[in-house]
Structure 1
Amino acid sequence: MKRTFKYISIFVISGILLSACKEDFLDTQPLDKAPGELVWSDAALAESAVTELYNGLFEGMLNQENMDCITDNALYNFGKQDIMEANISPSNTGWVHHTYEWGEMYRRIRAANIALKKLAAPEFENTNGIVERLKGETYFMRAYFYNQMVRYYGGVPIIKSPYELTSTDFTIARNTYEECVNFIVSDLDSAALLLNGKSLTLGRATQGAALALKSRVLLYAASDLHHMPTYINNLQKSTNRNIAGDLFFSKPENVALLGYPAGDRTARWKAAQDAARAVIDLGFYGYNLDLSAPVTPEEGKNNYVNLYLSRNGGEKDAIFMRQFINAKDEWGAWYPRNNGPNGYHGWTSSEPTQNLVDDYEMMDGTKFDWNNAEHKAAPYDNRDPRFYASILYDGAPWKPRTADAAGTDPFSQIQMGQYQIGNASSPTTYFGLDTRNSSIENWNGTRTGYAIRKFIDPNPAIEDQVTRQEVPSPQIKFTEVVFNYIEASLALGQEAEALAWLNKIRFRSGMPAINESNQALVERYHNERNIEMLFEEQRFYDTRRWMTAPQNQGEKVRIMKVTATLKPGKTVPVYRYSKDDYNYTYTVQEIDPGVENRKWDDKLYFMPIHRDEINRNNKLVQNPGYQ
């Protein structure tokens, strides 16, 4: 029987402490923690120590500050961030490092190294294979943490064993990117061998999680960003200069820190494809991917909601998740309050942009186009079902309002615009409840004209302002693995195979098949990957490794302004979205540069190592653009 995995710190374990020695009252043990020498002699304590590693996952994408805000997908409501305006430096490493900061990751890696050392010669009985399982989980978590660092910095120092008190030199050079990839893959292979089958406990590492993470690592390794000839060529085009004489690039050993200077790139793509296929062939995962034609739009919307709530079959897509429980007051469980509309007393923290909304296709698979009069008059009609499952827009049906707003909006509709009410001959201006001029709360309204719906439980009984939710944060999904397989297949020229799997995902969401080829197919794939895995911390990494970040991370944020005027002869005492009563005007504009003025600098392809780390370790080489 499955049970939800609860994260428990080894430092709060009770009931296993030793009594004080009667002969010497000074010979006592602390009452709030287990002595280190006991941890690895007791199976339960050893498991708790390994469990502590999972706390390094933090909330993931179910946070107030979603990483999609660094891309064209979203805007952060409460102040521009330096990384969005290319102002980060070794002394100001930016918002992206709040979660997976260099020092924090190495603290977690040290804990994993200690666990692996102790588990190599366990002092407790190996009941039901607990030693192998704990070792497998530890290998996985060490690989996970190293991969987080490599995604930011390129090659980092590989530390395989814990430093001891007798150690005298704590400086260590960065390993090459290739060495890091090989090390991470080796850890994941070890984890997969030790973790046979699926865990009976949600939230813990499994064989599938190890193989799925391996597919991600190898996909990144094959991508443009880490193929140094492509990377350097793109930089030279961007800057219109030869960078070979630059301080960083003048040394071949430095270039190897960021990727592969040479080698068989086709082999790297094949390794990525094989890794993804290995997960597919497990047969454990997959939700409604056996379709030969699109489901209805309503079914497509429901399928997508089930996927991100991990319910009603959608949990079959979950490979590795960060779990939340109502009884534990964790930030990720407050996701609806942190990101829901202010007219529901939410904070509207991470807001979808018009840039993103324009990327949702029409229901027939054609592109949305503001130059199309029909599209412009009704931009929220006949769109991809995933749009309605992901975005709260003007007129969208949503939950019943709280008591203080129910009288103003008895129809439970999102109000993102400026409207007229009263009599058409002498109307009164009314600002929607979910705007920055709301009569409910006006300090936290949307700046873009949109709010997040994805990952918020639509159950009307859940009042988001005061109730935590138990929707898990997806760290690795089977859908990502399928996309990894598609991308590798495209790179290998296997378009028919790629199309077959891409259309399976589209059919599940109610969208028609696509049949493009060559670069047009690659672009459709890029868009499909973004729409399907929206707000899952993919876009930031994807646009960098595809080297499309100058557009996708440097593009100015566009926002929506909605106005509605009463039609002649109409009288409306309380506002309700109605094309019968109103004429709607939709105006797209760039956001005020005082709020945010996005810029791109090529140095952002790799993050800076903090100056403090460089000062502590003189063997570290700083990334290009930050010297």
Structure 2
Amino acid sequence: MKRINKYLTFLLAACFTLTACNDDFLNTKPLGEVDETSVWTDLALAEAFVVGIYQGLGNGGFDEQMLASLTDEAMFTHPGRGINTITEARSNSADIGWVNGTLSWNNMYSRIRAANLAIDKLTSPNFPHSGATVDRLIAEARFMRAYYYHQLMRYYGGFPIIDKPYTLDAPTFDIPRNTFEECVNFIVADLDAAAGLLVGKSAIRGRATQAAALTLKSRVLLYAASDLHDGPTAKAKSPDLAAYGKLEYLAYASGNRTERWQKAQAAAKAVLDIASGNQMGLSAPVDHATGIQNYINNSMARNGGQNEILLGRFFINLKAENGGRQGLFNGPNGYNNWAGNTPVQLLIDDYEMMDGTSFSWNNPAHAAAPYDKRDARFYASVLYDGAQWKPRSSANQSRDPLGQIQTGTYPINSGGQIVNHFGLDTRNSPIEDWNGTYTGYYFRKFIDANPAIVDQNTWQEIPWPVLRYTEAVLNYVEASIELGQFDVAKAWLNQIRFRVGQPAVTETGDALRQRYRNERRIEMAYEEQRYHDVRRWMIAPQTLGRQANGINITASFKPGQSLSRYKYDPTVYNYVYKVIDMDPGKENRKWLDKMYYLPIHRDEMNRNELLVQNPGY
């Protein structure tokens, strides 16, 4: 015992000796963390903090579940993910359904708090700096605050505006929702300030620029002018909204709607004056093959298409993020992929013919060959039966040496007998049948066609277009139509069409409005536009209320023809195409007007007693 006490006395003496030399012994900092004081006294750390605010973008729209499957663009193949809760109008405050982290109430406010903190600390920085550098960081923080608030606005309506970082000693955390008009004004003020501070600043990939700030402003003001957010129009079109006692949270209660369209038009024009897209300014349509390649370039941000991206979420293989796995998430099961978000027939039918006329199943020529002579963007966006695609895996190339999409049922001659061959990309395939499409289609857009990208094993480097130039053009076109400036609208709309080989539109009035809306649907497919467009136009009952559908394809041999291994060949087979609705047991789509907005989760309602819930919940 005495020996142990001697050692303890020695150790204590040693400790006191050491601490006498270093008073910070007990104040050591974790090596993997940086304290707040250090962040705001060091320019590099402050910049790293601001860059971290962008993490709220997540993978952009490149998660396994995509917003497209909540619309009439696509359906999600796999059950149990909360998708049907929204498509079947079963959302409620206890179970909203699938909500991506890029739009959840809690996540957005977490990022907004970070932006508020950065703005507060950088307004009077405690480190040596050049004013231009700090201006950029403040601009980026204000831009990202505006972006996250705009996410809240377009999914939930008016929100509580918080413009400072709250601390634990705040007198209260209960804050009421601001009106929709106040929210729009706050976001626009942030974007104006950001754009002004970013003038002349060189672009940094994946970070805010003047053009990005102005494009987001044009989006916000376009929404503000739309039917859903004009109080009298919203009440006239929806009894649920008419009965809601706090409509000012969701729409302008009064004011001049024409002025709102003028502001939206001016905001979009400001983008067109300082930026340019890819292959714009053409005076006539390009040829069909060039049109396909132009759209692929724009989707992949390559060969000039990178000019389309005003703000992107970029991915690199070294990080192996899920945003680089669109081929795996959405590719065909016959290529060992998951077929997650598959295009529905409703979208397929809205792609025009090459000559600009509408596709129709009542046209015998169209019905006999539905994938012939369609808008170039169809071929750049969709994998359909018979489409040429990548080589299959080495284990399956003997089944399909040509790499053609097979989503039908076809006869083959096996040992002198005619038997059915189930397409390799169907749910009766010998390859991962559980991952087959229900609709008969797969995504092509955003998926790298390079055979070296083996989707189930490797990542791709395609950026998600958070904001792109063509959206600003379309915003300008829409505002011009609503202001009766039809020639202006057509001049810009036709530039978009010419670069993909489609002929000019010539309509005016409401006919032009409908052509424009379909053009926006096709051009911006799978880019998280459709979800909001059909709501703000208040056409969701006629669009999202329709049952998801697909195609059933069967074939028979032409007289005297026979094949022992299937390949797509209209000279050998007669193909029959039949549109089918999805089994209601799989998905039974329904629209209720409460779905114009998501509900605020009951946990948020319990945290803040001043919140008022959205209508219908």
Residue type matched to 1:78 in 2?
Answer: H
1:342 to 333, 341, 349: 333
Residue type matched to 1:339 in 2?
Answer: N
Partner of 1:171: 174
Looking at structure 2, the residues matched to 83 and 423 of structure 1 have their Cα atoms a distance apart, in angstroms, of 46
Partner of 2:593: 602
Looking at structure 1, the residues matched to 424 and 354 of structure 2 have their Cα atoms a distance apart, in angstroms, of 29
- 1:281-430 maps to which residues of 2 (within 5 A)? 281-282=273-274, 284-422=275-413, 426-430=417-421
8 Å CA contact retained: 2:53, 2:144:
yes
Looking at structure 2, the residues matched to 599 and 615 of structure 1 have their Cα atoms a distance apart, in angstroms, of 29
- 1:440-459 maps to which residues of 2 (within 5 A)? 440-459=431-450
Looking at structure 1, the residues matched to 461 and 552 of structure 2 have their Cα atoms a distance apart, in angstroms, of 34
Task: Return closer, same or farther for 1:553/1:199 CA change in 2, 3 Å cut-off.
Answer: farther
Partner of 1:221: 224
Looking at structure 2, the residues matched to 333 and 97 of structure 1 have their Cα atoms a distance apart, in angstroms, of 17
Does 1:270 pair with 2:273? no
8 Å CA contact retained: 1:423, 1:569:
no
Partner of 2:57: 57
Structure of higher CA gyration radius = 2
Partner of 1:88: 91
8 Å CA contact retained: 2:58, 2:101:
no
Residue type matched to 1:174 in 2?
Answer: R
Deviations 1:343-386 (A, max 9, x none): 11110100000110000011111111101111110000000010
Deviations 1:151-190 (A, max 9, x none): 0111100000011222131100000000000000000011
8 Å CA contact retained: 1:212, 1:476:
yes
Give 3-state SS (helix, strand or coil) of 1:563's partner.
Answer: strand
Looking at structure 2, the residues matched to 424 and 265 of structure 1 have their Cα atoms a distance apart, in angstroms, of 72
Q: CA deviation at 1:24?
A: 4.3
8 Å CA contact retained: 1:266, 1:492:
yes
Looking at structure 2, the residues matched to 535 and 225 of structure 1 have their Cα atoms a distance apart, in angstroms, of 22
8 Å CA contact retained: 2:407, 2:423:
yes
Give 3-state SS (helix, strand or coil) of 1:485's partner.
Answer: helix
Give 3-state SS (helix, strand or coil) of 1:301's partner.
Answer: helix
Looking at structure 1, the residues matched to 576 and 412 of structure 2 have their Cα atoms a distance apart, in angstroms, of 16
Looking at structure 1, the residues matched to 168 and 518 of structure 2 have their Cα atoms a distance apart, in angstroms, of 51
Give 3-state SS (helix, strand or coil) of 2:193's partner.
Answer: helix
Residue type matched to 1:44 in 2?
Answer: A
Does 1:577 pair with 2:580? no
Does 1:611 pair with 2:606? no
Give 3-state SS (helix, strand or coil) of 1:63's partner.
Answer: coil
Partner of 2:525: 534
8 Å CA contact retained: 2:56, 2:101:
no
How many residues of Structure 1 are paired with residues of Structure 2 in the alignment? 596
Give 3-state SS (helix, strand or coil) of 1:286's partner.
Answer: coil
Q: CA deviation at 1:97?
A: 4.6
Does 1:208 pair with 2:211? yes
Q: CA deviation at 1:336?
A: 0.8
Give 3-state SS (helix, strand or coil) of 1:597's partner.
Answer: coil
8 Å CA contact retained: 1:132, 1:194:
yes
Residue type matched to 1:225 in 2?
Answer: L
Deviations 1:475-513 (A, max 9, x none): 000000000000000000000000111111000110011
Partner of 2:4: none
Task: Return closer, same or farther for 1:411/1:117 CA change in 2, 3 Å cut-off.
Answer: same
Q: CA deviation at 1:63?
A: 2.0
Q: CA deviation at 1:325?
A: 0.7
Task: Return closer, same or farther for 1:425/1:548 CA change in 2, 3 Å cut-off.
Answer: farther
Partner of 2:10: none
Moved more, 89-98 or 319-328: 89-98
Looking at structure 2, the residues matched to 206 and 427 of structure 1 have their Cα atoms a distance apart, in angstroms, of 62
Q: CA deviation at 1:22?
A: 2.5
- TM-score between the two structures when normalised by the length of structure 1: 0.93
Q: CA deviation at 1:301?
A: 0.3
Task: Return closer, same or farther for 1:501/1:401 CA change in 2, 3 Å cut-off.
Answer: same
Give 3-state SS (helix, strand or coil) of 1:419's partner.
Answer: strand
Partner of 1:138: 141
Moved more, 264-273 or 126-135: 126-135
Looking at structure 2, the residues matched to 226 and 186 of structure 1 have their Cα atoms a distance apart, in angstroms, of 19
Partner of 1:624: 615
1:279 to 271, 294, 319: 271
Residue type matched to 1:428 in 2?
Answer: V
8 Å CA contact retained: 1:425, 1:568:
no
Partner of 2:496: 505
Deviations 1:559-597 (A, max 9, x none): 101111122322211110001111101011101000000
Residue type matched to 2:523 in 1?
Answer: E
Task: Return closer, same or farther for 1:581/1:193 CA change in 2, 3 Å cut-off.
Answer: same
Deviations 1:327-353 (A, max 9, x none): 002111111111111111110100000
Looking at structure 1, the residues matched to 340 and 489 of structure 2 have their Cα atoms a distance apart, in angstroms, of 36
Moved more, 146-155 or 162-171: 162-171
Residue type matched to 1:333 in 2?
Answer: G
Looking at structure 1, the residues matched to 385 and 200 of structure 2 have their Cα atoms a distance apart, in angstroms, of 46
Looking at structure 1, the residues matched to 388 and 150 of structure 2 have their Cα atoms a distance apart, in angstroms, of 40
Residue type matched to 1:119 in 2?
Answer: L
- 1:107-122 maps to which residues of 2 (within 5 A)? 107-122=110-125
Deviations 1:213-254 (A, max 9, x none): 000000000000000100000013xx7xxx76x4x33xxxx1
8 Å CA contact retained: 1:255, 1:261:
yes
8 Å CA contact retained: 2:203, 2:209:
no
Looking at structure 2, the residues matched to 605 and 309 of structure 1 have their Cα atoms a distance apart, in angstroms, of 31
Stretches of structure 1 lacking an aligned partner (at least 5 in a row)? 1-18
1:473 to 448, 464, 471: 464
Partner of 2:578: 587
Give 3-state SS (helix, strand or coil) of 1:490's partner.
Answer: helix
8 Å CA contact retained: 1:40, 1:122:
yes
8 Å CA contact retained: 1:198, 1:208:
no
How much identity, in percent, do the aligned residues show? 54
- 1:5-154 maps to which residues of 2 (within 5 A)? 22-79=22-79, 80-127=83-130, 129-154=132-157
Looking at structure 2, the residues matched to 39 and 316 of structure 1 have their Cα atoms a distance apart, in angstroms, of 34
Give 3-state SS (helix, strand or coil) of 1:26's partner.
Answer: helix
Partner of 2:8: none
8 Å CA contact retained: 1:423, 1:570:
no
Partner of 2:514: 523
8 Å CA contact retained: 2:557, 2:574:
yes
8 Å CA contact retained: 1:424, 1:571:
no
Looking at structure 2, the residues matched to 21 and 128 of structure 1 have their Cα atoms a distance apart, in angstroms, of 41
Looking at structure 2, the residues matched to 542 and 520 of structure 1 have their Cα atoms a distance apart, in angstroms, of 18
Residue type matched to 1:596 in 2?
Answer: E
Partner of 2:194: 191
Looking at structure 2, the residues matched to 110 and 424 of structure 1 have their Cα atoms a distance apart, in angstroms, of 70
8 Å CA contact retained: 2:481, 2:513:
yes
- TM-score between the two structures when normalised by the length of structure 2: 0.95
Residue type matched to 1:266 in 2?
Answer: T
Looking at structure 1, the residues matched to 563 and 100 of structure 2 have their Cα atoms a distance apart, in angstroms, of 50
Task: Return closer, same or farther for 1:164/1:89 CA change in 2, 3 Å cut-off.
Answer: same
8 Å CA contact retained: 2:271, 2:472:
yes
Task: Return closer, same or farther for 1:412/1:27 CA change in 2, 3 Å cut-off.
Answer: same
8 Å CA contact retained: 2:350, 2:359:
yes
Deviations 1:397-426 (A, max 9, x none): 001111011110001100111111116973
8 Å CA contact retained: 1:285, 1:319:
no
8 Å CA contact retained: 1:424, 1:567:
no
Residue type matched to 1:262 in 2?
Answer: S
